[in-house]
Amino acid sequence: GELNVSLEAIARLEELVERLLAERVELQERNRTLTGECDRLVQDRSRVSDELDRLLDKLERLEGKS
């Protein structure tokens, strides 16, 4: 009777906790991946920005000469 119901409830809770822990690990993994991608994008952006600055400097020098 009652003991059975309690054991069943505990088993269900344990199952739920297992599932939540697994999902948490998955989310942490995905988070790490996204963070990595974000870092790469920021690096790309600063590289592009540096390139543009160099090009603009060149253009200004060329315009100054003419």
Say what the pLDDT of residue 66 is.
Answer: 77
- CB atoms closer than 10 angstroms to residue 18: 10
Distance from chain centroid for Cα 42: 13
Say what the pLDDT of residue 14 is.
Answer: 98
pTM > 0.75: no
How far apart, in whole angstroms, are the C-alpha atoms of residue 17 and residue 14? 5
- Mean pLDDT by groups of 10 residues along the chain of 66 residues: 91 98 98 97 97 96 90
